[in-house]
Structure formats: structure tokens, C-alpha cells
Amino acid sequence: GASKVDFRDPKIWKGKDGNFYCVIGSRPADGSGQILLYRSENGFDWKFVSILAKNKKRFGKMWECPDFFELDGKHVLLTSPQDMLPEGLEYHNGNGTLCIIGEMDQDKYTLKEQFAQSVDYGIDFYAMQTLGTPDGRRIMIGWMQNWDTIAHRCNDSKWFAQMSLPRELSVKNGRLYQTPIKELDAMRKDRVEYNNVVINNDTISLDKIEGRTIDMELVIRPEDKENVYKKFALRFAQNERFHTELCFRPDESVLKIDRKFSGSERALVHQRRCLVNGDANELKLRVILDRFSAEVFINDGEQVMSAVIFTEQEAKGISFFAEGAAKIDVVKYDLV
């Protein structure tokens, strides 16, 4: 009863028992997505094992690009649902990302779901896949684009779309955490550091804090815990005409990325928001810029926001704004 067209995106791995396994995206008769599990002794002759997970019309429709693995004592299913509807700030409209964490029923070969979340809370991230490294890490890379922006490119650009940074995955307290792959640290040069910089109803810049290929760590705290600032904003890829902004409102615990002034000439999605876990006393961001993209790792990788920006490379300024009094620590590296 399933679609013959939407039977696709196989992900194959070798199991601990020596067999090969494969998950495949499928679309049953109800039009909703499901993930099928197959087994093979030789990698060529495959036998159906089970329907590993069923959408049941909860998260969009067709589940694309599935991936399934064991990590930190849990089983993790990654997939990219099409035609999603938002659920608060957890899932956004259109082509989204989904992570289901649970336990494997070893008898029925089905995933017993425990937790569900978005993989990326930004604008451009889809069809992520993972691999295991020889030293045991689980590394994920995604497509920094999606089907709704597939036709958009700058007229004079020599490239179209890009992949995300490779990210190391872990599971903590029922959530998927992502951190930039540790090999990126070898590209860090020219460290610049500021501590306990107070911004009070003002916009400031800091000497040598600029650039479009950078790795920047930022910690934001209220200058007075009894009188928490109302808004903090980081602007990057900035000059007199262009900028992209990260804005945090501690009373809502909402972080927003906004690229409407980044140079885009089309009616694309320009803003996305996510609900940040934790309190207003400290927000940790790691912002990695790579010429035409920004990847923002929130609170040690508990959430990530990714976005492509079509801003001229001459716009390399960075500024900080606070409504109220905020105190920040900044560590910035050039990536070379």
C-alpha cells in the first residue's frame, strides 16, 4: 500500500552482528511518512525487517533522508520531513528537520520513541547525514539550503548552496547536542579576547573583532542580576548598508536570527526564532562565519541555527547592542 515513487534515500551501515542494515524513506497509503528497515548478509540481497518508525501524520508528510544509529545509550533517528506545520518554535513551516530519540525494541525492530526535536532551528539546514569515525565519534553534515530556496542564487556567483560544518553529535538528557568537529580548532589563528565588557543602552564595536571567516565565542550575562537587560543583539557581516543580526530577549528566552538586511533581493524566509533552554543569567553562543554562511551553536550545542547570507565580503564589521545593561565575554579567532 505504500508509494513506489517515495521509496528512496537509503542509508546503509554494517551492524555489530556482521550484517548490513538499511533504512529507507517510504510513504504509506495515508500519505504520511515512515521509515523501513532492511537487512542483508552481503550488502546486495536485502530482506524487509520492519517498519522502524511511523509518522502517523504528526511531522509533515514524506520523511526524507533517514539516518539511524546508536549514540550514548540511545537510538537516534534523523529525518527531514516535507510540508511541516509549525509547533510553537520547535518546528517551522515547510521542509524541516526531525530527531527522534528512543530505545530499540529488539524483538519487533521498532523504535520506541521517547523524545522529539528539531535538528536545526535556523533557516538553511536539511537532509543531514552522519558517519562514524575510527575513534568512535558520530559526525553529521547537512545541506545548507532547502527545497523552497533551491532556485535562489546571486546572479554573479560562481557557486550555489553549500554544506554545513561537520558536527559531532551526543545525546544528553534526552536531547541531541551538536558541536563543531574538533579538527576545526586547528584552523583557529590570531586569538582576540575581551572579558566583562559592559554594554549599557548602547551599540559598541571592539578592536580586532571583525571578519567573515571567523570562530567567535560569546557569553552574555546581565550586568545586574536584579535588573536584567531587555534585549541583546549581535550584528555581523556588517557595513553601512548590510548586516545580519542575532537578537536575544531574556524575558521570553527567545533567540532570533534575522538576515533581511543581508543583501537578499527575494521574498525568502529572513527570520527564524528558537526557544532557548536555561535562564537569563548566562547565554553562550559560538558563531562560526564562513564567507556566505553563519552557524550559531547555542549553550554548548544544545541548539543550532544555520543560515546562508548573500552579503558582499567587504561587509565584515561586528557590533554588540544592549537595551539595558549586559556584560559580555568575547573570544574571537580567524579561520585560516
What H or E segment, with its residue span, contains residue 251? none
Predicted pLDDT of residue 160:
76
- Length in residues, the chain: 336
Q: Which residues of the chain have pLDDT under 70?
A: 151-155
- Which residue, 332, 109, 305, is CA-closest to 216? 332
Phi, psi at 144, each rounded to 5°: -85, 70
Q: Render pLDDT for 26-41 as a digit per residue (tens, 0 to 9).
A: 999 998 999 999 999 9
Mean pLDDT of the residues in the chain:
95
Q: Render pLDDT for 193-238 as a digit per residue (tens, 0 to 9).
A: 999 999 999 999 999 999 999 999 999 999 999 999 999 999 999 9
Instruction: State how far the Cα of 247 lies from the Cα of 245, in Å rounded to an integer.
Output: 6
What H or E segment, with its residue span, contains residue 175? strand 175-180
User: First vs last Cα of the chain: how many Å apart?
Assistant: 53
Predicted structure pTM score = 0.96
CB burial of residue 120 (10 Å; 0-12, 13-18, 19+): buried
Do 214 and 165 contact (CB within 8 A), yes or no?
Answer: no
Predicted pLDDT of residue 155:
62
- Which residue, 120, 102, 119, is CA-closest to 111? 102
Structural domains in the chain, CATH included, are 7-182 (2.115.10.20), 187-335 (2.60.120.560)
What H or E segment, with its residue span, contains residue 238? strand 231-238
Residue for cell digits 553534515? Answer: 141
Locate all alpha helices (DSSP H) within 207-313, ordered by sequence: none
- Which residue, 279, 276, 269, 333, is CA-closest to 307? 269
- Which residue, 49, 75, 122, is CA-closest to 270? 122
CA angle 27, 28, 34 (to 5 degrees): 60
Predicted pLDDT of residue 264:
87
How is residue 30 written as a grid cell?
495515508
Amino acid identity of residue 158, one-letter, is K
